[in-house]
Amino acid sequence: MKEKKGTSQKARRDKSKERTFFLFTVPGFLLYSFFFIVPVLMGIYYSITDWDGISKSYNFIGLGNYVKIFHTNQFLDALFFTLKYTALLIVFTIVLGIVIAMLLNRKIKGRGFFRTVYFIPAVLSSLTVGLIFNKICYYMIPVIGNALHIQALSQNPLADKNLAMWTILFVNLWQGLCIPTLLFLAGLQSVPVDLYDGAALDGASSWDIFRYITLPFILPVVSVVFVLTLKSGLMVFDYIKAMTDGGPGSATRSVAMLIYKHGFTQNKYAFSIAESIVMGILVAAISAAQIYFTDKKKAV
Amino acid sequence: MVEGRKQHNALTYIILVLGILLIIFPLYVTFVTALKSDAQSSKSFFTLPIPMYLESFKEVLSSERYWRSFLNTVYITAIVLGGNIIIMPAMSYAVARKMPASKAYRLVYYFLLLGIFIPFQVKMMPLVKLLSSLNMMNPTGLGILCISSSTCESVFLFVGYMGAIPPDMEEAAWIDGASTMRTYRSVVFPLLKPMLATVLIKQGLWMWNDFMLPLITLNRGWKDWTLTLFQYNFSTEYSINYSLTFATFVASMLPLLIFYCFMQKSIIGGLTSGAVKS
């Protein structure tokens, strides 16, 4: 800074600069804080009551709701489903994402066309995708299954207790693979080509090339994809709401579905908030651990 | 070597083409079912729509509910984008430039990022109560709420981007006597435009496609519906009518697909840069 020090003009301008920066920050900050702090505080407050969400009065019951969560298996079942679903989603997303990205990264004709088509699902609404596959499973899969004599597909897979989760997982991957694949593709393009050429000259096997050249370059991407998929898996709602509504029975009831059901359709307002806080603590702990264990910038 | 590579390429093609079929198939049946009468569809779901049946489209496109939902979606998305143009770049500029020297701004930044750790469901139930007590259970209210929900991600992206812009130009403008506001408008904001495009695409797609927030705040009457609510309510009500149900999907997807055709590069760029969402 080459300004003349000590003049009153400089002091005035500095002050006005401070004021402008302050004014820039205040509206967004207040808006964010209001819709962030108030609901969280309200949530903590109501979670120690027995309010049903409608009646005029309610009682304070301390940690009663939190104890009640673990009395029945409902929450634990939903949590177990969600964790299993998330683990599968993460594994498939990372493995298939890397495979597809490597295929799309090869020097083949029509590469641009393939990429264009592969990323169409990314712009669609997950609800639309869920509803379309719901109708396909309902009307069309039985037709295909019967024509091909595949016993498992001769009826709606979403109505089958064992197949419903896999079907939702498939639909989630159909759309959810797009962005991870793009990220992996960007990672692959950061590998210097001469490393591959050198390895080929040395007679390295394809696996060695992948293991010692490709993988180290895309490892940061794996970490990002892991976090993204983890969050979307733990909060999965749209696909399930559109395809099975948690059924058949409660076979595909995720924690988000359970909270929604308790809070909005069964008047267990305070109870559902307690459930959401337990889930929130879990997600926050996992995110914090992830950031702690990996480079901060890459993880977020 | 060359033989091996050729075989490799053939295999690559086969897998990639299978992938394309997998992606196209659901979209194909959606379009053809929408363009066939139910009688045609019950003969076979998979044949091309010959002769073409346009009644379902006419019905959707002449329904007041569709257009109302469409306009609501445009309106809410516009509010969110407006907030992201006016509030977020300015706030990020202030935070990014003040952070190194000022502890208060550093705290603000960390506080803004804290939202990443709080999953939406924790706030969901209280938010509905809060919005209804503020009389905000309407498209405008949802739009305002969603500006606040987009803060974490936008600020994170803008502050990161600001970090790569050296302050030289701003300092030059400052020495020339430009006010901070003026510097922001004519120097900083134009420099932020590439990141602004990314942020707008990200937040716009998110808002346009969101289902959970409209479901819990706007599902009381069709006048407030968004396109996702329109599709959801329609397909749970009229699930027997193939053609009409799929026509609602097509009518809702079409704006996005057209957008994708024209803006493919920016969309792909936007969706892959930065990756935070509360």
- Ordered by start, the domain boundaries in chain A are 1-38, 72-299
pLDDT of residue B273: 67
CATH of B70-226+264-272, one of 3.30.365.10, 3.30.750.24, 1.10.3720.10, 3.30.70.940: 1.10.3720.10
DSSP 8-state secondary structure symbol assigned to residue B118: S
Q: ipTM > 0.95?
A: no
First CA to last CA distance, chain B:
49
Q: Give the chain A residue whose CA is nearest to the CA of B208.
A: A125
Considering chain B, what is the average pLDDT of its residues? 87
Check residue A130 and give its pLDDT: 94
Looking at domain A72-299, its CATH superfamily turns out to be MetI-like (1.10.3720.10)
Query: Does B61 reach chain A within 8 Å, measured CB to CB?
Result: no
CA-based nearest distance A133→chain B, Å: 7
Average pLDDT estimate for A110-121: 88
* Mutate: best of B272, B276, B277, partner A, most A CBs <10 A: B272
pLDDT at A26: 93
Q: Does B30 touch chain A (CB under 8 A)?
A: yes
Asked if B82 reaches chain A (Cβ–Cβ under 8 Å), the answer is no
- Is the bond preceding residue B51 a cis peptide, omega within 30 degrees? yes
Inter-chain touch B9–A108, beta carbons under 8 Å: yes
pLDDT at A298 over 60: no
pLDDT exceeds 90 at position B9: no
Give the per-residue pLDDT at A147: 86
Classify residue A274 as exposed, middle or buried by CB count within 10 Å of its CB (0-12, 13-18, 19+): buried
More confident residue, B59 or B146: B146
Query: Between residues B273 and B275, which one has the greater pLDDT?
Result: B273
Q: For a pLDDT cut of 90, what percent of chain A falls above it?
A: 38
Per residue in A24-76, pLDDT (tens digit) is 999 999 999 999 889 999 999 988 888 887 788 888 888 888 988 888 889 99
Share of chain B above pLDDT 90, in %: 46
Counting residues of chain B whose pLDDT is more than 70, the rounded percentage is: 95
Whether residue B1 is predicted with pLDDT greater than 80 in this model: the reply is no
pLDDT tens string A227-246: 889 888 998 999 999 999 98
> Angle B189-209/A126-135 helices, nearest 10 degrees?
30
Query: Quick one: what percent of chain A has pLDDT higher than 70?
Result: 95
pLDDT-based confidence at residue A6 (cuts at 50, 70, 90):
low
Residue A140's pLDDT is 87
The whole model's pTM is what? 0.89
Q: Concatenated DSSP letters for A137-169?
A: IIIIHHHHHHHTT-GGGSS-GGGSTTTHHHHHH
Q: pLDDT per residue over A133-142, tens digit each?
A: 999 998 888 8
The mean of the pLDDT values for chain A is 87
d(CA B147, CA A35): 10
The pLDDT of residue B249 is above 50: yes
Q: Is residue B6 scored above 80 in pLDDT?
A: no
Q: How close is the nearest chain A Cα to the Cα of B126, in Å? A: 5
Q: Is the dihedral of CA A106, A110, A116, A119 positive or negative?
A: negative
How far does B18 lie from chain A, in Å, by closest CA?
11
pLDDT computed for residue B118 by the predictor: 82
Contacts of A42 in chain B (CB under 8 A): 126, 129-130
Annotate B163-174 with b (16+ C-beta within 10 A) or e (fewer): eebeeeebeebb
Span B250-260, pLDDT tens digits: 999 999 999 99
Neighbour-count burial for A113-126, b at 16+ CB within 10 Å, e otherwise: ebbebbbbbbbbbb
- Compute the average pLDDT of residues B76-90: 95
Chain A residue numbers touching B10 (CB-CB < 8 A): none
Distance from CA of A109 to the nearest CA of B (A): 9
Q: Where are the domains of chain B?
A: 2-43, 70-226+264-272
Beta-carbon separation of B123 and A36 below 8 A: yes
pLDDT for res B18: 93
**CB distance A27–B120 less than 8 Å?**
no
